[in-house]
Amino acid sequence: MAYFVIDSNLQISKLNRDVEVLQFQLSSAKYEIDSLRDAIRMQGVGNASESLGLTLIYNQTRRSVVLISVTTALGRVQGSGFVYDLEGRIITNNHVVEEEGDITVTFIDGTIVPATRVGRDPYVDLAVIDVDVDDCLSPLNLGNSSELLVGEQVVAIGNPFGLADSMTTGIVSAVSRQMEAPGNYAIVDVIQTDAAINPGNSGGPLLNMRGEVVGMNTAILSETRQFSGIGFAIPSDTIRREVPSLIENGSYQHPYLGIIGMDITPAIAELMGLDEGTKGALVVEVVKGGPAEEAGLRGGTIERAVEGMQVKIGGDVIIGVDGRTVRSFYDLVVYLERYIKPGATVKLTLIRDKSVVELKLTLGVRPPP
């Protein structure tokens, strides 16, 4: 009798697995049927409606977008994410998963699985989590955010206010924006869009009209915390640059100069006795023990009131890096973030005491926030 009971349990377990497989296959077939139906409809109407192209993008990508929930001691945080690879890695915002708690991922077919944190970078609000599933994984392709044009149509997919699998559309309103990051640093190359982004969209993909990820929806500019026409996305070029390190090391190392700086304005140029048209990055303060101090960079020495605020002037003015013109502090930060790794040596061109000098500086690793 004991052998019979064991065999029956094995048979029941096998039948349960078979049922689960059939349920998944049925769910997959349903999505394929829906996609085919929409494709047939689009062929029937030809080019009568440009919006049907949006339907095609939605059908091609919606299975790749997930709902992420984090249960913490203070409640539940929800956001979005998208499948990065067939190993089960999912991209989202750091602020969605940074709090300690249990993470679950919900796929469009209703599958809910636990997830673990793989790597995080608070400095660009980027995180990678991992799920253990054999099916449900449909990675999205990363496009080139550097090729985006202002006015180009884009699509955002996510879970605003917990409303799963919502799509909005708009245009690229601007490129090369910057957002604040911890420690008074800046996130560079940020995409501005008027595609509606609301709480819950965070971590979801911003897609071009080829269905490629060109950004990750991250923040809005609003006085009411609701969408008012200005949304921001972390560029896909940043995601492509950082994710391999987040997967392998759990973190990403940013280059570190060790200065506090600002743009040279006409008022500052006048106070420092520089030509009226001088552009560059003013070194306001040099961080003690940092790469800039070791290289001999000089910070401001005299405090002056400039346009309603106190500014330390008299420091070095960086006007070039590795032969590239630096017209603002942002120019300097963008170059280092895009192209330079910690440990590399850069050549800075400076205005010091009204003379142009060159100085070599070996970059360090930005301290954790």
CATH code assigned at 203? 2.40.10.10
Q: Which among 200, 235, 270 is the end of a domain?
A: 235
pLDDT at 222: 64
pLDDT at 221: 77
Which residue(s) pair with 168 in the sheet? Answer: 156
**Residue 321 domain-assigned?**
yes
Q: 164 near 129, Cβ under 8 Å?
A: no
pLDDT at 45: 43
Domain that holds residue 183: 146-235
**Residue 327 domain-assigned?**
yes
Residues 230 and 267 in one domain: no
Residues 230 and 285 in one domain: no
Residues 7 and 39 in one domain: yes
Domain count, the chain: 3
Q: Is the dihedral of CA 161, 91, 249, 135 positive or negative?
A: positive
pTM attached to this predicted model: 0.83
Residues 297 and 347 in one domain: yes
**Residue 201 domain-assigned?**
yes
Q: Active-site residue numbers? A: 95, 125, 202
Q: Domain containing 355 — which CATH number?
A: 2.30.42.10
Residues 190 and 291 in one domain: no
Residues 260 and 211 in one domain: no
Burial class (CB in 10 A: 0-12, 13-18, 19+), 239: buried
**What tens digit of pLDDT does each residue of 206-249 get?**
999 999 999 999 988 765 566 778 999 999 999 999 999 999 99
Residues 291 and 228 in one domain: no
Q: 345 near 362, Cβ under 8 Å?
A: yes
User: Region 313-340: what's the mean pLDDT?
Assistant: 96
pLDDT at 135: 83
Residues 277 and 357 in one domain: yes
pLDDT at 13: 61
**Residue 66 domain-assigned?**
no
More confident residue, 11 or 155: 155
**What tens digit of pLDDT does each residue of 185-212 get?**
999 999 999 999 988 999 999 999 999 9
- Residue 174: closest CA among 141, 202, 215, 135: 215
**Residue 216 domain-assigned?**
yes
**Residue 131 domain-assigned?**
no
The residue to which tokens 């973030």 are assigned: 337
pLDDT at 37: 56
**Residue 95 domain-assigned?**
no
**What tens digit of pLDDT does each residue of 275-312 get?**
989 999 999 999 999 999 999 999 999 999 988 889 99
**Residue 89 domain-assigned?**
no
Give the Cα separation of 310 and 302 in Å (integer). Answer: 10
pLDDT at 136: 87
pLDDT at 22: 56
Q: Which among 205, 235, 265 is the end of a domain?
A: 235
pLDDT at 10: 59
Quote the tokens at residue 136: 């449900």
Residues 356 and 294 in one domain: yes
Q: Is the pLDDT of residue 31 over 60?
A: no
Q: Is the pLDDT of residue 255 over 80?
A: yes
**What tens digit of pLDDT does each residue of 65-115 get?**
999 999 998 889 999 999 999 999 999 999 999 999 999 999 999 999 999
Residues 262 and 353 in one domain: yes
- Percent of residues, the chain, with pLDDT higher than 90: 76
